[in-house]
Structure 1
């Protein structure tokens, strides 16, 4: 009897132990069918980042042409450590104290800001750039993961969120034009960018002012997937392109439109760049003089890697001040090196000197190069500050624009030096050119 009681007790304990183990296992299982739930981070990596972001030319490897600009790999080996509490190279995100992913705070996480197409464009273009936006479910899934602390292990977000597969669409609303007493608006009206192509267009617009005005602020706006938006004036007004006509840089067979290309040689840079949603304000007392009915050439460049057509559309507001408030007239800097080449699979630094033929005060500097550009430095040439680095940019998509707190005083014969480093990861020589596959080397800015 004693042995029977002992055996019975042991049997009860074994059954209880098995039951407890079963409950524990069930608590670790997905609610929807018995299989162990996949880690939330693993889903983000495998089903979102790997497919949409860690692709060739974007965030796939250090050999990607864009890597020097963002220093962000999103492949399965590096992504998590490259995101959590890491400071971004995006200058506007730095100013706002954002990090790539801040556990618990999606609004202070640049990753969320970049994938949510409904978020105002404060930090550059929506990602994936040139591709299809993420779905509302994918965006919400990442948002909830961040809110839950952005863990690497554990299932912390309901996978059913991912069933919401509507692609995020950005409602583009043209900005309001200034009142006629405060300025004017110019535009490139909506045009089509065909699937798997890029398109660069120009439109010659005439300013509506009937008397000379002085512009002290320029605000620009463009649709997603725009490589750049630039405002040009013309060196000579004797032979201008047709007014209000969309002109393509490339023909339908991808060859350069010779007429448009020739018209570009008459350009003077007046504003804009690769950040198409931006505002530039001149220093106090400085403004750009705009005579009546001035001809402006608006230039937009879009690229589309999707299987469907996209729409391009751009606006620029030019805000004016009374002439009585203008002490100095702004003049445009357009220093370009048109004659250089970068051998295949090589890194090369190109130094170019530019000089002024009169005494000037430089008030604003920015730069322009393409995706092979790693670093663009501007140094002072001549004078007591000779060789001083006054500008540096490592982000070709969002070049830094500096309104100089300490203006650069230069005498005739002195000037600026560009020191530009390129990393040609392609298997062909790259030269100066007008497409996103070519390169550029230009100092833009203003002086008076």
Structure 2
């Protein structure tokens, strides 16, 4: 039987069209690189624990990473961190560039090169995710390729097979501070102490010492182990009755084991005065020449570490603090702490008070 040539041509055309249609559908249905970053990296590492609307972290950083807003909040947007913003960084830059460090996101997640962050830009804050394992080498490589390609919302610019590299950077170095001699200044050491799995531990510890004479401080140096949210040295107003002060040498955890706040510890916070502190892993603050901070005789030191653990294993926190004395003969200007809290007013009910 002879088959007409026209019929064969029609069959061939239909077959080619079907193949072409199948190819387009396959390509269009392939998950975009950004979608993979959102679902496989941001959600489990960043969104669930911290960067969800209404959380303190999201409010402080002005960054929400849920899927409905994350791209718009990340790409082409200036960071809330003032130092990074002043340096011209964007959270993620939008041009195809080899300069990864123009993206604040990369600075914050690149744990293998964290010394660059800590030594050159400590004001950028801690490596993220805070209190959890760093992103894997595969996750970092995947995000890196996306950024270098201009951070597109659609399309494929990185092979998902990269994510099979699940090895992570392990920090093996923490820089302790040298102990100051008594004539050089004050050295405080907190820990090592444990931080339970999937928990954030914040506590206060009044140093059991008598600061018997007025001294001048020229330099404050703080070093924090990995996983710290912040550390603050508080004091209390001069003349505060001993009955209102916390017991010395006693650890007062802000959170109970079930995660609820301890109201008795919260009450003591209303009297505290900030002396020095940091959210940077390492801080070295020096007053200008001729200026020193006065610590009056009888100053009480209440130390406040806050560490976060988003892993399933117990971690360890530790803090070193050095307050170096100034030579009184070299001081022309005495700095004092500004305690501007006003708790002596009453707001009447059902009224707007200005």
The TM-score, its normalising length taken from structure 1, stands at 0.59
Pair 1:84 & 2:85 matched: no
For 1:298 and 1:141, locate their aligned partners in 2 and report how far apart those are by CA, in whole Å: 41
Relative distance call for 1:255 and 1:36 in structure 2 (3 A) is closer
**For 1:144, what is the secondary structure of its paired residue?**
helix
Relative distance call for 1:160 and 1:339 in structure 2 (3 A) is farther
Of 267-276 and 101-110, more deviation after overlay is shown by 267-276
Question: Residue 201 of structure 1 aligns with which residue?
Answer: 203
Pair 1:113 & 2:107 matched: yes
Question: Residue 308 of structure 1 aligns with which residue?
Answer: 313
Deviation at 1:308, TM superposition (A): 3.0
Question: Residue 97 of structure 1 aligns with which residue?
Answer: 88
Indicate the structure with greater strand content.
1
Unaligned runs of 5+ in 2: none
Relative distance call for 1:282 and 1:341 in structure 2 (3 A) is farther
Residues 224 and 318 in structure 2, CA contact (< 8 A), matched pair in contact too: yes
For 1:136 and 1:225, locate their aligned partners in 2 and report how far apart those are by CA, in whole Å: 19
Q: RMSD of the alignment, in Å? A: 4.8
**For 1:72, what is the secondary structure of its paired residue?**
coil
Question: Residue 303 of structure 2 aligns with which residue?
Answer: 298
Residues 214 and 290 in structure 1, CA contact (< 8 A), matched pair in contact too: yes
* Per-residue CA distance 1:65-85 (angstroms, 9 max, x = gap): 554433333233322232222
Of 36-45 and 89-98, more deviation after overlay is shown by 36-45
* Per-residue CA distance 1:130-153 (angstroms, 9 max, x = gap): 555433321221122112322222
Residues 198 and 301 in structure 1, CA contact (< 8 A), matched pair in contact too: yes
Deviation at 1:88, TM superposition (A): 1.0
For 2:41 and 2:34, locate their aligned partners in 1 and report how far apart those are by CA, in whole Å: 10
* Per-residue CA distance 1:180-238 (angstroms, 9 max, x = gap): 58755422121012134433323444789999753222232323443431113454699
* Per-residue CA distance 1:294-348 (angstroms, 9 max, x = gap): 7633221234454432322222233444323211222112233558999xxxxx9
Relative distance call for 1:93 and 1:208 in structure 2 (3 A) is farther
For 1:257 and 1:238, locate their aligned partners in 2 and report how far apart those are by CA, in whole Å: 20
Q: How many residues align?
A: 334
For 1:87 and 1:255, locate their aligned partners in 2 and report how far apart those are by CA, in whole Å: 34
For 1:126 and 1:350, locate their aligned partners in 2 and report how far apart those are by CA, in whole Å: 42
Q: 2:289 aligned to 268, 284, 297, which one?
A: 284
Question: Residue 143 of structure 1 aligns with which residue?
Answer: 144
Residues 144 and 157 in structure 1, CA contact (< 8 A), matched pair in contact too: yes
Residues 125 and 279 in structure 2, CA contact (< 8 A), matched pair in contact too: no
Question: Residue 45 of structure 1 aligns with which residue?
Answer: 38
